[in-house]
């Protein structure tokens, strides 16, 4: 039985229901404001920083935020539930809890650096050294939210979060002259550190001076506390896994640029997600302090959550696309589908939030623990498979499936609780049966020990299962040749089988680094003709099944024909078309469309071609986009950014055509001029005409 602790002092006149309403409204208003400011933060970074830097920073920040949640070890919900009745022990419990969480933040950060996908995330020793400190700061920052709720002043956490949102936005805008991912990360982290130090100071003072925490503690037996702690840690770990792993899946499966689109969109969605679950915190704290009012408080919480969920869903549908447009048209185009799916699964998430509140009040968390485990599996597995074909929208489908499954399981017990408290039944927390308590302890300890290792294994798996065969981001001084370990040249003229006008050279005037992390392949007038470059990985790198992708900005103009494509490594033995050819992206002249193609031989050695064209606005090629090909047994899929533009299957070939695409192929990048397809160059053809390559990556399944 949890006793009612008499109140006196400055907040004694606040009834439980009024305090719940005040704290809830403050949290909702703050979360909505910080959500908008968070979107503004990513919109500003999208405008001021290159997409690849935004994508890398978002992956680092998301990883740190979710590791920080895991580092709280479930102490956050323990404080939320039991600080209201901790009495004189509150200051000591707070101090020990923050020390423990800070230490765990460092340990989990170090673990990710050592075991996680180091190459995609950490570009320097400084980044690796600083990441554990970032997790420490964000772990303390997160714990303060629940401590504020436990001390009856959740509205103070709302102020802290709002101040941080404004400060990090101002910082990133002021420091944008250094357009690197570290600028974004430091703007987020250093402002959080300042806000955390100040908030801890005022909360520590309240725990020492307020009359409620000068009384004797009324805590439950330690056995029940440990059971609650174990379940809470398991729930926190499971809740963290999906959001932590998903951005890493997006980075490794779809690319950094796609993760930039995902991060900006998900910032809006996650703010609303957080809002739903934060509404529960003041409810738990008030019921702990006023168990005699559990019925009234429960119904108020349900009504509030229902309104918040429906308004959040409507906001995503109506205002979401407009807000995404602030970051740029590409962000709106790529993220809108994810917003629509989130509008469906956010109300479903409200069911889980309601049940979580009831379960914590009763201190019966086993069902919620196993539901979170099931959701983590569905989210990770669903995102892994769905992003391969649907891009970042696949994450939305995974979350929709997980939340629907959770709602179906939990809505019955939630309704039963409401009926019982309405009927006036005693809902005082009761200890579970001893067998159930032992099972809960064992499962909690196993989860607490196993989940960090499993988590890091899952983080690493995308890189391990999709082993990086080649990655070149073309860092080097301006004018330098591309890395000879990766690239060679095809040289000469003669039309190249298409009556082309250019002569390919290995001169830096035609292919060189620009000093800003790009390779520039340039076609130039040379008398009555053109010179250009055709780079290949022939003899240096080839692959059979896996993914090849390049982030490109391509030229347009009369007679221009830039391309990213693949040829079979046996072309010297069997000739073309028996070697096979895969055209990942080609544009011609005015760039009215993106062309994909697969060329192979029929049984008589004559060429056949499978092709797909995507109409585009010509200005599309003026900005960077990621063009990719995914090669699986009997299937070749091509696309741009998160969109699939062509799928070619062996099963679809007519009789007499041979499938030759399940063997080693190498990469080619070139800018051709003239020929039978694009037509001749003329006086309007730009010179120089440059294809700019940000990076090239090849992974093997």
The helix (run of H) or strand (run of E) holding residue 120 is helix 118-121
CA 471 – CA 123 distance, rounded (Å) = 13
CA 482 – CA 474 distance, rounded (Å) = 7
CA distances from 671 to 481, 489, 523, 593 (A): 17, 13, 6, 16
- Active site residue: 586, 604, 611, 683, which one? 586
Contact 629, 663 (CB under 8 A): no
Residue with tokens 């765990």: 104
CA 476 – CA 520 distance, rounded (Å) = 12
The helix (run of H) or strand (run of E) holding residue 629 is strand 625-632
- Active site residue: 53, 80, 581, 683, which one? 581
Contact 553, 643 (CB under 8 A): no
Q: Is 17 a catalytic residue?
A: no
Peptide bond connecting 688 to the previous residue in cis, omega within 30 degrees of 0: yes
Contacts of 465 (CB under 8 A, 6+ apart): 701
Instruction: Calculate the dihedral angle through the C-alpha atoms of 353, 354, 356, 362, rounding to the nearest 10 degrees.
Output: 170
Contacts of 662 (CB under 8 A, 6+ apart): 544, 545, 631, 633, 634
Q: Is 586 a catalytic residue?
A: yes
The helix (run of H) or strand (run of E) holding residue 158 is helix 154-174
Nearest to 24 by CA among 284, 411, 351: 284
CA 124 – CA 14 distance, rounded (Å) = 53
Residue 520: strand pairing partners: 512, 692
Tokens at 474, concatenated: 């073309």
687: left (phi over 0), alpha (psi -120 to 50) or beta: beta
CA 312 – CA 316 distance, rounded (Å) = 6
Give the pairing of strands 560-568 and 581-586.
Answer: antiparallel
Cα 440 → chain centroid: 32
Q: What is the rounded radius of gyration, in angstroms, for the C-alpha atoms of the chain? A: 29
Q: Which residues are catalytically annotated?
A: 581, 586
């Amino acid at each position: 039985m949890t006793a009612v602790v008499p109140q006196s002092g400055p907040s004694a006149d606040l009834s439980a229901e009024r305090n719940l309403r005040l704290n809830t409204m403050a949290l909702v208003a703050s979360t909505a404001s910080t959500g908008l400011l968070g979107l503004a933060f990513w919109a500003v970074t999208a405008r001021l920083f290159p997409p690849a830097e935004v994508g890398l920073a978002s992956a680092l920040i998301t990883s740190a935020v979710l590791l920080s949640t895991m580092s709280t070890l479930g102490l956050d919900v323990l404080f939320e539930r039991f600080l209201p009745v901790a009495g004189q022990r509150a200051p000591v419990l707070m101090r020990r809890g923050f020390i423990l969480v800070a230490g765990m933040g460092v340990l989990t950060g170090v673990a990710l650096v050592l075991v996680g996908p180091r190459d995609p995330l950490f570009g320097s020793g400084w980044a690796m050294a600083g990441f554990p400190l970032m997790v420490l700061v964000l772990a303390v920052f997160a714990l303060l939210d629940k401590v504020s709720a436990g001390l009856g002043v959740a509205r103070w956490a709302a102020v802290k979060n709002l101040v941080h949102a404004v400060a990090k936005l101002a910082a990133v805008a002021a420091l944008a002259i250094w357009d690197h991912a570290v600028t974004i990360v430091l703007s987020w982290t250093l402002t959080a550190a300042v806000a955390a130090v100040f908030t801890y100071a005022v909360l520590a003072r309240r725990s020492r001076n307020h009359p409620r925490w000068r009384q004797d503690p009324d805590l439950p037996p330690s056995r029940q506390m440990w059971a609650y702690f174990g379940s809470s840690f398991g729930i926190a770990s499971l809740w963290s896994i999906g959001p932590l792993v998903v951005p890493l899946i997006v980075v490794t499966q779809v690319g950094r640029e796609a993760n930039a689109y995902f991060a900006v969109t998900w910032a809006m969605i996650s703010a609303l997600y957080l809002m739903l679950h934060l509404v529960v915190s003041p409810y738990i704290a008030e019921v702990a302090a006023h168990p005699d009012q559990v019925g009234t408080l429960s119904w108020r919480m349900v009504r509030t959550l229902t309104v918040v969920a429906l308004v959040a869903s409507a906001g995503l549908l109506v205002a979401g696309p407009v807000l995404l447009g602030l970051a740029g048209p590409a962000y709106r185009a790529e993220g809108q589908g994810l917003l629509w799916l989130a509008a469906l699964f956010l109300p479903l998430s409200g069911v889980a939030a309601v049940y979580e509140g009831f379960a914590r009040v009763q201190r019966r968390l086993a069902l919620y623990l196993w539901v979170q485990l099931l959701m983590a599996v569905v989210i990770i597995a669903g995102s892994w498979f769905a992003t391969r074909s649907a891009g970042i929208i696949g994450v939305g489908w995974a979350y929709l499936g997980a939340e629907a499954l959770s709602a179906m399981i939990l809505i019955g017990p939630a309704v039963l609780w409401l009926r019982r408290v309405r009927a006036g039944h005693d809902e005082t927390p009761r200890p579970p049966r001893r067998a159930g308590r032992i099972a809960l302890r064992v499962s909690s300890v196993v989860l607490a020990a196993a989940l960090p290792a499993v988590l890091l294994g899952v983080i690493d798996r995308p890189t391990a299962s999709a082993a990086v065969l080649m990655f070149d981001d073309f860092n080097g001084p301006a004018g330098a040749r591309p890395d000879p370990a990766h690239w060679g040249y095809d040289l000469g003229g003669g039309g190249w089988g298409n009556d082309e006008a250019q002569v390919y050279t290995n001169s830096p005037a035609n292919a060189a680094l620009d000093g800003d992390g790009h390779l520039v392949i340039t076609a130039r007038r040379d008398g009555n003709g053109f010179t250009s470059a055709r780079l290949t990985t022939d003899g240096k790198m080839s692959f059979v099944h896996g993914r090849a992708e390049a982030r490109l900005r391509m030229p347009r103009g009369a007679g221009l024909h830039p391309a990213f494509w693949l040829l079979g490594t046996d072309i010297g033995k069997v000739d073309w078309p028996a070697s096979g050819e895969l055209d990942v992206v080609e544009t011609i002249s005015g760039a009215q469309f993106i062309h994909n193609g697969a060329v192979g031989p029929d049984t008589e050695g004559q060429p056949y071609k499978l092709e797909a064209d995507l109409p585009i606005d010509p200005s599309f090629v003026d900005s960077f986009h990621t063009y990719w090909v995914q090669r699986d047994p009997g299937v070749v899929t091509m696309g741009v950014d998160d969109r699939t533009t062509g799928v070619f299957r062996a099963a679809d070939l007519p009789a007499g055509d041979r499938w030759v695409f399940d063997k080693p192929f190498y990469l080619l990048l070139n800018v051709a001029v003239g020929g039978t397809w694009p037509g001749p160059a003329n006086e309007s053809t730009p010179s120089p005409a440059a294809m700019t390559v940000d990076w090239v990556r090849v992974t093997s399944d």
